[in-house]
Amino acid sequence: MQVYDTTLRDGAQREAISYSVVDKLAVARLLDEFGVGFIEGGWPGAMPKDTEFFRRARTELDLKHAVFVAFGATRKAGVRVQDDQQVRALLDAETPAVTLVAKSDLRHVERALRTTAEENLAMVHDTVAYLVSEGRRVFLDLEHFFDGYAFDPDYTAKVAATALAAGAEKAVMCDTNGGMLPSLITRTIGEVKGRLAVVLGVTEDEAVARLGIHCQNDTSCAVANTVAAVEAGVPHFQCTANGYGERPGNADLFAVVANLQLKLGMPVLPDGCIEQMVRVSHAIAEIANIAPDTHQAYVGSSAFAHKAGLHASAIKVDPVLYNHIDPVVVGNDMRILVTEMAGRASIELKARELGVDLAGHPEALSRVTTRVKELEARGWSFEAADASFELLARAELRAEQQDGALPKPFTLESYRVLVEHREDGAVVSEATVKVRVKGERIIATAEGNGPVNALDEALRVALTKHYPELSRFELADYKVRILEGSHGTGAVTRVLVETRSTGEDWTTVGVHENVVEASWTALVDALSYGLSRQVRV
């Protein structure tokens, strides 16, 4: 099976992606580590960056698994192949393999290329034969193959046969406009292999073994179409990391590889590579400057995240019951989400994940479950606030064990926040907190660029003497959402605070009609949680 990656060529045709040469080198290394068989690096001669990339790759890219491929078009109509500058640039790239794009839909030949059916066949033949004579492995991408085949099957099959007869290793059927469905792919390949077998004088199995598949994702079926082609006997498939590509994109390399390897038992990658899937997917997203899709199959952080209580109750018995694969196989993790849809099993599993054992404490478990549902109904959201959930679970566990309340690093007497709009337009916030810390009453005041920042600063001033570790805590993110009121109440504000300290981050939540009070709750949880992890309070 040939796993052919075109992230650096077709994937770069996605809106908003613009790789530098250094980015391209880094992506190529990641794809090679992932074990793909071919890496299409770009179109040398079409843009200076790609020409430069191929020049630098010669000395800077030491591929362990993959064959490096340059991409370009067949010679121009009416131009001798030896005189075509684009074809020259393909040779100058000095790659062991070249992929040529050719028109295979007669309408495109006549209307886009503005040439004859015969000249297009000659362009294909001459360019393939020339590059083969220069020692290159040649693949031919048949643009608009499926649309062309539906319009004029004889001509489209003839373009494929011409390429193969001229020495192309594979004729790759491209669903360029991405309009196919799996059943149409299967049916077309069934017919095409029969036609090619006759023209090439080989068996149908030998004919299909000379084909490849390249699917765009305009019907959201690119992965399914690719898998259908492989199931029909096609031994070469082209994909891009995370499905990046023109318009809605291409077939996602990771989903195709996982489907073939894990569902159909085809060993498409070298041993040990499939476990790298999540790491490679996210690293390429980072380089492409595109936030990873959390819901992407196999590699998304939500790909194995379970929210429904019923799921969790079965997962508690055996995770296999609600996961289509073991997430570890692709380098992912299962997660249990705690929300209003949680049942006792979800709460027990989530608490266990956070190191709180509620399994032997049915009353505490019930109370935490009820409390989560009540709070979520009032606008709280624990899904993204593990730290607040952990504090809640620990508090209920201590109550059941009659250990008293969860120790708090401080108790609040009061806080006050002022926002002053001055004559010169400056807006200054000032907060005063009065707290008791280890028996000492402390009053502290601080200014900030907003009321929450001022509160955070004042609290730190008050607590730092007793908890110097606080200086390492950094408020990393602060999100506010206004929620519709429910049960006759007014709107409420939900605040999520993300805090970071050395090697760790955690998120807490607060909800109130007043944004400052919601922020205060989230801040207090953030500091309490952080201190409970780092010092005994």
Ligand X SMILES: CC(=O)SCCNC(=O)CCNC(=O)[C@H](O)C(C)(C)COP(=O)(O)OP(=O)(O)OC[C@H]1O[C@@H](n2cnc3c(N)ncnc32)[C@H](O)[C@@H]1OP(=O)(O)O
Chosen from ligand CC(=O)C(=O)O, ligand X, none, partner binding at 214 (C-beta under 5 to 8 Å by type): ligand CC(=O)C(=O)O
Q: Which is nearer to ligand X, 113 or 483 (CB)?
A: 113
497 binds ligand CC(=O)C(=O)O (CB under 6 A): no
Q: State the minimum distance, in angstroms, from the CB of residue 118 to ligand CC(=O)C(=O)O.
A: 22
Distance CA 274, CA 373 (A): 39
Residue that is written with structure tokens 């709107």 in the block: 491
212 bridge partner residues: 172
- Exactly one of 6, 7, 51, 74 binds ligand X (CB under 6 A); that residue is 74
Distance CA 80, CA 179 (A): 35
Q: Which is nearer to ligand CC(=O)C(=O)O, 214 or 460 (CB)?
A: 214
Distance CA 212, CA 221 (A): 17
Q: State the minimum distance, in angstroms, from the CB of residue 111 to ligand CC(=O)C(=O)O.
A: 17
Distances (CA, A) of 532 to 412, 504, 537: 17, 13, 6
Chosen from ligand X, ligand CC(=O)C(=O)O, none, partner binding at 73 (C-beta under 5 to 8 Å by type): ligand X
What secondary structure, in 3-state letters, does 189-244 show? HHHHHHHHHHHHCCCHHHHHCCEEEEEECCCCCHHHHHHHHHHCCCCEEEEEHHHC
> Please, is 244 exposed, middle or buried when counting C-beta atoms within 10 Å of its C-beta (0-12, 13-18, 19+)?
buried
176 binds ligand CC(=O)C(=O)O (CB under 6 A): yes
- Exactly one of 32, 141, 252, 396 binds ligand CC(=O)C(=O)O (CB under 6 A); that residue is 141
Contact region with ligand X (CB under 6 A), list: 29-37, 69-77, 382-390, 500-508:
69-77
Q: State the minimum distance, in angstroms, from the CB of residue 176 to ligand CC(=O)C(=O)O.
A: 4
166 binds ligand X (CB under 6 A): no
The 2-41 site mask, x for binding ligand X (CB under 6 A), equals: --------x-------------------------------
Helices 344-353 and 362-377, interaxial angle, to 10°? Answer: 100
174 binds ligand CC(=O)C(=O)O (CB under 6 A): yes
Distance CA 6, CA 506 (A): 38
Query: Structure tokens of 16?
Result: 């908003």
SS3 content of the chain, % helix, strand, coil (to 5): 45, 20, 35
Contacts with ligand CC(=O)C(=O)O by CB under 6 A lie at 10, 101, 141, 143, 174, 176, 214, 216
Binding site for ligand X (CB under 6 A): 10, 43, 46-47, 73-74, 76, 101-103, 112-113, 123, 143, 176
